[in-house]
Structure 1
Amino acid sequence: MTSCQYEESWSRAFTLSDFGISTADQFIITSGQVAISNSYEGARLIFNFYSLNSEAPEYNPQRISYGNLVLAPEIGDTPEIVQIDFASPITIPAGVERILVEVTQMDDIYNDAYKKVLIAGTEFDNDTSWYRGCRLYYTHIATENLTPAVPDANFFINVTGYKITPSNLGSITTLTNNPCGDPIKTSMFSCSYSKLFWARLFNLEDFGISTNEELTINLGQIGITSSDGGTGIQFNIYEVDENFPDSFSETNLIGSSQVQRLPYVSDYYPQIITVNFETPITVPNNVTRILVEVTNVISWGSGVFFVAGTEQDVGDSWYRGCGSGSPGYSMEDYVSMVDPAFRKPGGYPDAKFYINVTGNVNHVTNDFSMNISNICSEFLKEFSVTPTDNIASIAWDFGDLASGVENSSTDISPFHDFSVDGTYSITATVTATDGSIEILTETIKVKEPPNAYGIDDIHACEDSYNTGVSSSFNVGQVTQQVLGGQNNMTVTFIDGSGNTYTSLPNPFTNSVSNKETITVRVAHNNAPCCYSETSFDLIVNPIPDLSSVTDLIVCSNETDGFATFDLEQVQQAILGVNNINSVAFYRENGNQIQAPLDLVENQTINEEVIKVRAYENVNNCYNETTFKLMVNPLPIAHDLDILIGCDDNDDGISEYFDTSMVESQVLNNQMNLTVSYFDANGNSLPSPLNNPYTNTIAGEETITVRVTNTQTSCYDETPLVLRTSTRPQLNMPSTVYACDLGNGFANFDLSHIEEEIIASQTGLNLFYFDANGVELGSPLTASYKNSIPWNETITVRAENVLNASCYAETSFNLIVNELPTTTLEKSYYLCHLEPSLSIEVESGFDYYSWSHENEGAISNTHEVDLVHAGNYTLTIGKRTNDEYCENSFEFELIRSTPPTITEVRYKDLSDNDFIEILASGDGDFEYSLDGVNFQDSNYFSNVIGGTYTVMVRDKEGCGQDSADVTLIDYPKFFTPNNDGNNDYWQIFGIDQYPDAYVHIYDQYGKLLAQLTPNDLGWDGLFNGKEMPTNDYWFKINLQNGTIFSAHFTLKR
């Protein structure tokens, strides 16, 4: 997958049910991954999330969350996976079937190192990758449909999270007054730089939580419609009584969540913010009512954000804080949003704050708890009791006497299909493995789900060809069909673009081309969240293609404006299109034109408009358009002069015909005309003609020149004759070679070039040009120095002295031979005990000469034995392209003596302890602290304390030397947790000072421990008690005059 210089986005679509997430679940996304390459440090990648309908992503994806930033590391050509853990989890609301996960690279114009990252994929894949960007694709497009296509893009993009299934019964319970619907924007206000509190009230009994059960809350959610990104939120849980809000007090706080930062949220895209409580909040048993409060915590900026609501809810929404201090109200007191006198007439009845919490219900005395799958769209319910390991037997009573023998069960996890709507008391008598018996009771409301009866697909003819849109869909019977006689139901329609309707406008116009799926939702009037769904398709039947119908034009020298036209050819062209079975023509007065159609005369002078209508034979849809019958006069193509061109090789072809005056001559000042050209076979030529033009027929060629009226398309023609004459014949000279004088330049003998090019031809002028187009002297000199290094092309132009436009060109190359070269070291080392050193070079040269500065020549082959120290010269020669070139190289031989360590410098008890080894000798040395790992530098930094045997050795094996050195140092921290790592604290290198001692103190100067070189170290205990995590001080006395104090950290 290639990239471009503009913004790009890469996406993958996921069907949530493929991963066990139903439309009744919320999907909480906590992290994501994308694989990229070619990344610089800090490349800015953004994760965006959209909900999708059943259509592909290019059709109106709805944004859920935007702008989740991750900074990528530096990555080379090998792709790596980049992980993002979202600071605020992304909540995919219930009801979403498919999502699109999009990754976008943000432009980073303020970073000099900015470059485009490359998306990576996998070898195997089972779905489509989607792309948009590059200022070319403005909606998401499948990569196999790109130009060029990339069918194997296989983008590596994934997200990870967990699902929440809202439930009112069982061990996991969600407290919510917003039982259905996504968050929406409301009229609720907000304030800048102020403290605000939003709250919902919950009676625990309404959610099946008795006074013998406690609720442990581990998650909270709030819907927001806008946030400037500079604030955080915190959940507070209060116990309240029946006198709320008058009795509200912050002293009744049960617990608070951590503060979670809000992302930037546009007011066009409401979203759900999920807060996973780091410390769960337990609501004790005997608490019957709680208030869930959400407050803002400003980090920077104005701190403004707006709380979302839903279309339906239960109970009041409550608020206190900024803006509530109007007459009669206090900023410290809670006020209901339906209070008609709060701030404005009528209050804020649409506020309906989207606030909920989820947690685990635990019975404080029972050992077992009952769970019920209370899915509203099913009469069939599943029951269970946990934990199952301690159950010896169980007896269920579903309180449904009308179900007969099905009213009871002894299964651990039974199903029961309730008989009719109603409220049922469910009892489970559990006998534990220890013989004890517990009776569990829960109350459940059961309501028969509505039916959404099937609807037949609806067809309609297309309004305009190839639009896929019809405004004539008859949806008048849809509501009646989907209800099937049911009463007290609410019907909601959702079109393919996500728009909702309580009733479809009739006739209906589709918003998704060709085929649009309409989802129909049927719900009880008094239970809008409990619904069933079906769908049907609006199918657009295409109309015939009449795009091929064009005006019919007759060009005539007659002056009366009438002519005969052939409509039969128009009819046959239309009938040739698939599925068209009839065609009709109509005049402007509406009368149909009858056969014969091949001899139709226009009835309006010069121009008549004809309407044509075509019917297709499948759905009898038709299309119609108009065309003109036009009668027009001819223009004049004036006669042209014969053109003469130069033939360069006696083949009858010339590239030098001057056509610059052809167009003006053939038009002779006529206006609104175009000129076109055709060869002898009637093939179209470029217009205007190429200038100069090359004939394609040897000797003489005739071109037809057509003059066309641009308004009427009428034309006239005249011939253009092209004839050829002769041009000079040139030979291409051989390449000239010379030896390099330095940097690719040389002197060339070019005195023979002219004769080589033209031989015995006369009557010619010769011109020479270097590679830069600069004209050279003529004739060329015997010693020419090239202007372009290594390889230069000289262009030669020969013109006929009688016709300068009849010329020929050739060229020849000047090539500079590189001097022969070989690889020698600048210096060679020979141990003083060795008699000589043999070296050699390649054996393919034509000449060798080895010489010593004092001895003269010592070898004339490709190898030599070096004995005496000093400077040497090697000269080599080679003949290339019949040109002999030489080159010389100098080097030296050094006889080295063994290394001797003269001094070892070091520093200890510092932030940067070092060892520096100083050695004498003239060899090439390397150094080591352990005799195993060697380096070229004699300086070792950041050395930890201890005793070292340092070593220096000759790289050529000419001896070595060593010495011992001890550095005193200490660990900056230790962790005495008995894991085998850093369990003791002791001075490094102290074992070399047998009389030394160490005292350890706490921050108040209290002596905690005394260590000697023989001790293992301090274990973090004082009088057998573990000392806490803190900084501790020590003093070391080496008994040689060195006393040192510092501190270290004990970590637990």
Structure 2
Amino acid sequence: MRMVITQKNRFKKAVLLLIFLSFHYINAQITLTHNVGTTLVKTDMYTCDRDEAWSRIFTLSDFGIAPNEQFLIKSGQIGISKSDEGSNLYFSVYSIDDNFPVFFYSSFPRTVLGSRSFNPTTVINGTPQIFQFDFDEPIIVPAGTKRIMVTVHKIRDIYNPKSGEIYIAGTAQDNGESWYLGCDLEHGLSLTTDLTIPVPNANFYINVTGEVFNTKSLGPVTRLSHNLNDELIDTGIHSCKWNDIYWARAFNLKDFGISGNEEFVINSGQVGINKTGYSAKVGFNIYEIDDNFPCSFSEKKLIGSSQEQELRANIDENSQIVQLDFDKPIKIPAGVKKILVEVHKGIVYGDGVAFIAGTTQNDDVSWQRGCTAIGGYPDLGSGYVSTADFGKPQANFYINVTGNVNQVRNNIFEMNISNICSEFLKEFSVSDQSKVASISWNFGDPDSGAKNTSTDLSPFHDFSADGQYAVTASVIAKDGTREVLTEKIESSEPPKAYGINNIYACENNLNTGFSTSFDTSTTTKQVLGGQTGKTVTFIDGKGNKYGTLPNPFTNTVKDRETITVRVAHDDNPCCYSETTFDLIINPLPQLAVADVKECDNDTDGFTVFNLQQTVAAIIGTATNKKVEFYRSNGEQIQSPLNAITNLIANEEIITVKLTNTDTNCSGETTFKLIVNPLPKANLLQDIIGCDDNKDGISEYFDTSNVEAAVLGNQTGMKVSYFDALGNPLPAPLPNPYRNTTVNTETITVRVTNSLTNCYKETPLVLKTTSQTLITKPAAKYACDEGNGFSTFDMSGLETEITGNQSGLKIMYFDSNGNQLPTPFPALFQNTQAKSQTIKVRVDNEINSLCSAETSFDLIVNDLPTVKIEKTYFLCNLEPSLHISVAADLDSYVWKSPDGNVISNANEADLVIAGKYKLVVGTIKNNIYCDNTFEFELIRSVLPTIKEVKYKELSEDNFIEIIAEGYGDFEYSIDGTNYQDSNYFSNVPGGTYVAYVRDKEGCGSDSKEVTVIDYPKFFTPNNDGHNDLWQIKSIHKFPNSKITIFDRYGKLLTELSENDFGWNGFYNGKEMPSDDYWFKANLNNKVVFSGHFALKR
């Protein structure tokens, strides 16, 4: 990439000079500072005898530095008002981003652009001084950097007893911020205004000075670079300790506007360095190269070298640009078309390790030699390879050189030769062809006869023999100018590259396409065909190069790989011929063999297998396959293969080998000879079916448990059934099953393993027998003895079921299947309320499987009920009480307290006080059930109040009426509202009349009672509610006296029983809302005091 284009056509110097003057800032000095003036003042900034750092932030655009310009910092200044000799100072420059001042795991920004000038301090104890630090090499601020931080670090010299304190000076006026870190007072870089002890006017005197280089604009210098920006990256490429390594870039000078008539004088070079050890050095070498680079590279074509410069050991993973200003410029002569800019990394002492950096964008290839492992070579030594050859195509080495272009000759035309070294045929041309009127070529090859000359603009010439030739072109320009161009070239015939036979090998593993057994022992001999003095290079399908192919060789490309073989002259490696051959994989035969399985009919784990069927399955119709079988001991199984017995019980592993007789590639796998055990067919008990009409046929054979019984705990089995003739029957068997053979039928039951198809059989015998005849008993009834339970008369039950039959066994069960006693109890109480079903099973004592079943019910009749009260009341004034019940029952018996029957109807007259009985009965389900009810007649005595209890002057006032007499009484304290309880709670103060009366109207009594109480508050606002305060019911107490006081004991008023109450006034004035106290003397009978609230 042409960074700066120099002038051409020097006769236009006057015009171009004006252009160059317009870019006066290319080498202009720029100082970055925020200080106004250079007059130093002492500030309030403190110091200490420990490490410190003072910083300033600079935005480059504020100082006219554009995004496409590098800033080369060459010096720095700091102002000091007081110091001693106990410390050292150095400058560091950091690139900062938008996250500043946040940077993790570091006290300072991570991107260090460089550190310079480790200088001791001097004694200052008077007038502040400016210290100038001239850097031994510039700190390069990459193009595109927006902001930097310039930091002056103070490092305490622990070996110097003098004080390490330094008081930094400032200026009175300033237009920036000062940043500080140190003295163990701060935990991170901070503005001086934000320090623990703030210093608002620190105004640190710190500045740096340097030059800018505009990488994009026209100017008096030219830079050769393939890097499209200055964004440095880690290339990830190795380096070497204690060894040299070379990084390079190739440049076609014409691409940068440098013609064949101009010389290029290189003054400086830059290289990006990523990390360094101790103590590496770098220098620049410039070589002439041609179109056949890198194979034509020769150190003999060195044009010049710079001095070597030791790299600083503090460059870390944040890359830095290192610049070498050449002590002696390197001049590229006119006529040189391509050069190689090489950076040599050497060693001063120590490990000497250093890594090169690259950039994110690039437009050409990066090259490396020395300490470069690739392909079959551990170290390529002096040979160059591109970084793409060892897996780093995006390395983009940061290497450039800068210099001046000078015109040294005024040729109008240049001769161009296609440098095709692999053949005698060359192409020639001149530039600029548009200016050519005529041309005459002489190739200096008289042995070629008439072909030695040509008048074509771009002729080809096939040289007749190896050698050096002087080629001339006589050119007449269209303006009449004549010019003779002369070039010397060397031509040689390339060596022969004889054909090599393709090599075949069997793949190592099935379907991988790779083999480690390619025999390459004769490849070099075949390609040379007896030639000597030749260098052979093999290039595999992945681009790896080998001087000799390893033998045996492992292919790097699956299935088929083309190997390129290059034969070159030992003394001219650029002149070569090529041929190719293929490494071809013969695939292993596909082989998948299923296990062979047979049933173990004699249960010993051994049986006979037919492997001939396996052979047929493997080979199919192929004629080029051979199959072999081997036992686990390596013994081959010989023919015949149709009757092979396993040698290991139950399961034997067999190895099968399949060979392709065309390629002799074979594959192996294993399969098993498996002897499958027979399933179990458990013996089955005979099934008895009841013959209900004595014809030998039963429709009642229960087959529900046949399958479970024959299988036991086996799973995964299939059960099938066959009749005596072998005909299949339905599976599972119908349930119930009807026999087709009279009296006795035998069925074959087969158990088959579903996985192996091995089976075992057992017989199932079905027999018929005569069935028992029984009668269903009638339902039994009994009267409810309580909660739905009763005792039933069960005499004659068995006779009712079986009649006069003998040889039978009778069993009884409740609804839950629980067996009941046999013989059934004569008196039985039901266990289920209301009704219960009893199941009956009658077995033939000879054949218990042939049985008959029935059931009967036990039903409890509900007792008759009537609606009658527990207690009846009759006033003593009345002669009798008439009561009645429902008339739908069958019998009634009323008995008086003395036991006499007073009625047999559904009604009766009650006269005598006491306990009565009523017995009612009804007939249901042919049995009579009765029920007895008891009740009491109470003759009421007139009620009389014996005492009225009460409580007053409390939060729970009450009245309790104590009455005498017999009857059903109710109570009241207002004569209107009555209740069953004689207790009245929460009674407010006042005068009440206590009442008691008989609910049946049989008399009443009353008595007056007074409950004294007072309101807890009153509201004298004349709304008709609570406007006056007075003791409730005080009118019942003549000669009463109530005195009312305020909270201070001042008498406000006196009340008597005749007063309506206090209205809240004193001497005609309203008293305020507050608590007030009173004392009451009720006719010297009741004396009490309390307080109440006045609310307004």
The TM-score, its normalising length taken from structure 2, stands at 0.35
The TM-score, its normalising length taken from structure 1, stands at 0.36
Larger radius of gyration, structure 1 or 2?
2
